[in-house]
């Protein structure tokens, strides 16, 4: 981290605590922050959503805009950090809570999304689509984009930035955090395949779109969580337990210190049971 970045983070921390105080008093201002997590790689926060900004001497690369207010904030950060324009906007997937408000960042950029993404993402037409993998270099960084297959959505990709080996991973997995509520009706076996694919990627720093930054080891733990949850819920269903009994019996104790453990575990169990039953995997 260079001297300028340190000064910048100091300023930003001060600014975000001011914002937080205001947010508490008005109740509706989003909490935003920027933190440098590796050399010229910044993690951007909008409340519970995070994105990534990479500054190079040939341009700035931004992942999900999140929303239009956040896009303005991101562009302000780019202007604070560099004279270079935003040259690439990368959509991790097309879900509206991550992919809205891209217009400001897309105007002069290559806009990259998976081939399955809709024709327009909140009004923005991607200019570059790919099927399995896409790599490009900019300045002293390179970017490896990998399709994670269906599961959480149909167009979810991971972005690994080198040489720092930082992975930006959205929604399919997050360090020490339960999957979102009831899995949203997804095919959870496909979702597990996405987590396996994440584990096959070569990276060190796990920068998720929700929750705290972690390491590659956290991706392994998410896979263990998913596979254990699947096995235990399936066992409960096959031994004739009611949903209430399964929710009492499946405690996933190894994960009790994870974020959202208490609030989302019952929903994780319900979602897993719904999937196993509806996909015909419970023999009666
Ligand atoms: Zn999503």
The alpha carbon of 160 and the centre of ligand 1 are apart by a number of angstroms equal to: 18
What b-and-e string marks burial along 17-35, b requiring 16 or more CB atoms within 10 Å of the CB? eebeeebeeeeeebebbbb
Residue 177: Cβ-neighbour burial (10 angstroms; 0-12, 13-18, 19+): buried
Q: Which domain holds residue 78?
A: 1-130
Q: Does residue 20 register a pLDDT over 70?
A: no
Are 190 and 122 in the same domain? no
Domain co-membership, 3 together with 125: yes
Q: Are residues 15 and 93 in the same domain?
A: yes
| CATH (domain of 34) | 3.60.15.10
**Residue 145 falls within a domain, yes or no?**
no
Q: Check whether 270 has a pLDDT greater than 90.
A: yes
Using the predicted structure, report yes or no on whether residue 2 has a pLDDT greater than 90.
no
Kindly state whether residues 112 and 56 are assigned to the same domain.
Answer: yes
Report CA(211)–ligand 1 centroid distance (Å).
Answer: 14
- pLDDT computed for residue 16 by the predictor: 42
Tally the domains of the chain.
2
% the chain with pLDDT above 70: 90
Residue 136 lies in a domain: no
Looking at the domain assignment, is residue 84 inside a domain? yes
Amino acid 182: pLDDT: 97
Is 147 within a domain? no
Q: Are 45 and 126 contained in the same domain?
A: yes
Which pLDDT tens digit goes with each residue over 120-157? Answer: 999 999 999 999 999 999 999 999 999 999 999 999 99
220-257 pLDDT, tens digit per residue, is: 999 999 999 999 999 999 999 999 999 999 999 999 99
What is the 138 CA–ligand 1 centroid distance (Å)?
27
pLDDT mean across residues, the chain: 92
226 CA distance to ligand 1 middle (Å): 17
Task: Evaluate whether residue 140 is within a structural domain.
Answer: no
């Amino acid at each position: 981290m260079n001297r300028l970045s340190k000064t910048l983070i100091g300023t930003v921390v001060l600014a975000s605590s001011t914002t937080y105080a205001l947010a508490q008093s008005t109740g509706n201002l989003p909490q935003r922050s920027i933190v440098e997590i590796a050399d010229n790689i910044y993690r951007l926060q909008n409340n519970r959503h995070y994105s990534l900004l990479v500054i190079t001497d040939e341009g700035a690369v931004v992942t999900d805009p999140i929303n239009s207010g956040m896009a303005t904030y991101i562009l302000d950060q780019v202007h604070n950090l560099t004279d270079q324009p935003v040259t690439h906007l990368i959509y991790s997937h097309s879900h509206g809570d991550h992919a809205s408000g891209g217009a400001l960042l897309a105007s002069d950029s290559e806009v990259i999304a998976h081939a399955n993404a809709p024709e327009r993402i909140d009004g923005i037409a991607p200019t570059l689509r790919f099927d399995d993998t896409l790599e490009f270099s900019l300045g002293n960084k390179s970017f490896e984009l990998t399709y994670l297959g269906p599961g959480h959505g149909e167009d979810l990709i991971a972005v690994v930035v080198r040489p720092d080996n930082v992975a930006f991973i959205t929604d399919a997995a997050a360090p020490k955090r339960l999957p979102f509520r009831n899995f949203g009706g997804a095919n959870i076996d496909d979702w597990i395949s996405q987590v396996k694919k994440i584990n096959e990627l070569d990276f060190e720093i796990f920068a998720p779109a929700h929750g705290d930054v972690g390491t590659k080891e956290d991706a392994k733990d998410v896979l263990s969580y998913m596979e254990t949850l699947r096995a235990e819920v399936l066992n409960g269903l096959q031994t004739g337990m009611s949903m209430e009994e399964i929710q009492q019996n499946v405690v996933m104790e190894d994960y009790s210190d994870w974020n959202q453990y208490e609030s989302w575990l019952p929903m994780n169990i319900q979602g897993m049971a719904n999937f196993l039953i509806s996909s015909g995997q419970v023999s009666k």
